[in-house]
A = this chain, B = another copy of it.
Amino acid sequence: MQASGPSPALFFDTATAYQRTEALKAAVELDLFTHIAAGHTTAEKLAAACGANQRGIRILADYLTVVGFLRKEGGSYALTPDTATFLTRQSPANVGGSLGFLLNPTLHDCYTKLTDAVRKGGTAVSAEGTVSHDNPVWVAFAKAMAPLMQMPAELLAGLVGGDRNKALRVLDVAAGHGLFGIAVARYHPNAQVTALDWANVLAVAAENAKIAGVSDRHHLLPGSAFDVNWGGPYDLVLLTNFFHHFDTPTNESLARKAHAALAPGGRMLTLEFIPEPDRVTPPPSATFALTMLATTAAGDAYTFPEFERMFAAAGFARSEFHQLPPTTQQAVVSFKT
Q: Which residues of A pack against B, CB within 8 Å?
A: 1-2, 5-12, 14-26, 29-30, 50-60, 62-63, 65-69, 72, 81-82, 85-87, 93, 95, 98-99, 102-103, 108, 111-112, 114-115, 117-122, 148, 278-281, 283-284, 286-287, 289-294, 300, 325-326, 328
CA A11 to CA B65, docked complex, whole Å: 13
Q: How many copies does the complex hold?
A: 2
Q: How far is the CB of A54 from chain B (nearest CB, A)?
A: 7
Known: A51-B119, A59-B300, A280-B62. A11 touches B30 (CB 8 A): no
Residues on the B chain within 8 Å of A9, using CB = 82, 328
Q: Cα distance A278–B174 when bound, in Å?
A: 50
Q: Are B290 and A23 in contact (CB under 8 A)?
A: yes
Report if A7-B82 is in contact (Cβ < 8 Å); known contacts: A17-B17, A98-B15: yes
B17/A20 in contact, CB under 8 A: yes
4 nearest CB pairs, A to B: A53-B121, A56-B118, A18-B18, A6-B85
**Contact call A10/B69, Cβ cutoff below 8 A:** yes
Q: How far is the CA of A114 from the CA of B29 in the complex (A)?
A: 10
- Select which of B25, B50, B55, B284 is within 8 A of A114 by beta carbon: B25
Please report the C-alpha to C-alpha distance between residue A53 and residue B114 in the assembled complex, in whole angstroms: 12
The A interface is mostly helix, strand or loop, or mixed, namely helix
Contact A10 B82 (CB under 8 A): yes
Nearest CB in chain B: distance from A322 CB, A? 16
**B62 & A289 in contact (Cβ 8 Å cutoff):** yes
A63 near B119: Cβ-Cβ < 8 Å: no
Residues on B with beta carbons closer than 8 Å to the beta carbon of A51: 119
A326 contacts B1, CB within 8 Å? yes
CA distance A117 to B23 in the complex (A): 11
- Closest Cβ–Cβ distance, residue A209 to chain B (whole Å): 24
Instruction: Identify A25's interface contact among B21, B115, B290, CB under 8 A.
Output: B115
| Given A62-B286, A62-B289, A289-B62, residue A120 in contact with residue B56 (CB < 8 A) | yes
Listed by A's residue number, 29 A-B pairs whose Cβ atoms lie within 8 Å are A5-B326, A7-B326, A8-B95, A8-B148, A10-B69, A10-B82, A11-B24, A14-B69, A15-B99, A16-B102, A19-B287, A19-B291, A22-B111, A26-B114, A26-B115, A29-B115, A30-B118, A54-B121, A55-B300, A56-B117, A59-B118, A59-B293, A60-B118, A62-B289, A63-B286, A63-B287, A63-B289, A67-B287, A72-B279
From residue A20, how far is it (CB to closest CB) to chain B in Å?
Answer: 4
A67 touching B293, Cβ below 8 Å: no
Q: List the B residue with the shortest CB-CB distance to A247.
A: B55
B287 touches A1 (CB 8 A): no
Say yes or no: B22 contacts A112, CB within 8 Å. yes
Residues of B within 8 A of A99 (CB): 15
Please report the C-alpha to C-alpha distance between residue A21 and residue B108 in the assembled complex, in whole angstroms: 12
Judging by beta carbons under 8 Å apart, are B86 and A118 in contact? no
Report whether A52 and B287 are in contact in the complex, using a CB–CB cutoff of 8 Å: no
Residues from chain B with Cβ under 8 Å of A292 in the complex: 59
With known contacts A52-B118, A56-B293, A6–B81 Cβ distance under 8 A: yes
Besides A5-B326, A11-B82, A25-B115, 17 other CB < 8 A contacts? A1-B326, A8-B82, A15-B99, A16-B21, A17-B17, A18-B108, A19-B287, A30-B118, A53-B118, A56-B118, A56-B119, A56-B121, A56-B122, A59-B300, A60-B290, A66-B287, A72-B279
